[in-house]
Amino acid sequence: MFTNLDRTDTLVHQGKRKRLVEELIKKGINNPLVLDSIRVVPRHWFFPKDFEQFAYRDAAFPIDHGQTISQPYTVAFQSQLIDIKENSRVLEIGTGSGYQAAILAKIGVELYSIEYIKPLLEQAASILTEINPQIKLFHGDGSLGLSKYAPFDAIIVTAGAPIVPETLKLQLKIGGRLVIPVGNEKENQEMLRITRISETHFNQENFGDFKFVPLKGKQGWEI
């Protein structure tokens, strides 16, 4: 079991989070809802006790099954890009550790999160039910979205895709945003934001290079 079973949150942890937030502000994160969320969500709960000292560094960290808990800057940057408001309906593709789901849910959105690797989803669920039991978790291929609960105000993909899946674009509301890293499987990906302008028109913006684990599934790199 990867996660921390000691679910305490001390003044020391809170102080480390405050410093992490200051670091993110210096790096350009300025959305108050996102910063407030990072200030309160205990990232060390998503780490095993022995590695807790790494929880408040602005760095990605390996989790089970060859996956990663995303760097706090990346979590904040993606969350900021979708410009979510309270009560927005949001789909996260790639629950992973559950940390980003906790950040998004703390903002007050109606969060749906889907993960391909079942044991990872189960670990994430064990923490997320304590943090916010309203988060709706699913096991499956998120490259196809979650049509039953569409349309969404925002979709965040937390793994690198070869293309922008049409299926995901079509699960956005008009005005909705899809944030997805797209590029080479082994190298960097470009962070794209696709905004649905109308039934048939989409606007695409590019926010530069990031590095993610590959998106699997029918619209990903492998089945």
Q: Which of 182, 192, 191 is nearest to 220 (CA)?
A: 182
Decide: is 88 part of the binding site for ligand SAM (CB under 6 A). no
- Should residue 42 be labelled a site residue for ligand SAM when binding is judged by CB under 6 A? no
Task: Determine, following the binding rule CB under 6 A, whether residue 176 of this chain makes contact with ligand SAM.
Answer: no
- Strand (E) positions, the chain? 61-62, 68-69, 89-93, 110-115, 136-139, 152-157, 172-183, 189-196, 202-210
- State yes or no: residue 99 binds ligand SAM (CB under 6 A): yes
Residue 213, interface with ligand SAM (CB under 6 A)? yes
Q: Is 79 noted as a catalytic residue in this protein?
A: no
Which of 202, 221 has the CB closer to ligand SAM?
221
Question: Among 4, 88, 143, 171, which residue interacts with ligand SAM (rule: CB under 6 A)?
Answer: 143
93 binds ligand SAM per the rule CB under 6 A: yes
What is the set of active-site residues?
70
Q: Which residues bind ligand SAM (CB under 6 A)?
A: 67-70, 75, 93-94, 96-97, 99-100, 114-117, 120, 141-143, 158-159, 212-213, 215-217, 220
